Amino acid sequence: MPLKTTMSLQPPKKLRKQFTNATHPLIVLKFESGHQIKVYQNEGKEFDAYAGETVKLLAVNDPTSSDWELLEDRKADAFDDATS
């Protein structure tokens, strides 16, 4: 009789992270789900992300333009942990 195995698929761990924008008028964090968070210059935001999730950092230099500059693709794990 063959041995029956079952794999337990656990969802990825949810992380509480933070990001501070010190360089551009506006940076948009774009998550794999399509969710976006706007972070204006000299401000910071806390957010939840899944371990291993890729977040795109997009610079918006002209708010009237739809042309956003990709600054970086960053794994959620690489952001600073939220302090609160």
Q: Report, as ranges of residue numbers, the positions in the chain whose pLDDT lies below 70.
A: 1-8, 84
pLDDT at 69: 95
Count Cβ atoms below 10 Å from residue 1 Cβ, excluding itself. 3
pLDDT at 32: 94
pLDDT at 66: 84
This prediction's pTM:
0.83
pLDDT at 2: 60
Rounded CA separation 33/1 (Å): 43
Residue position matching structure tokens 């998550």: 31
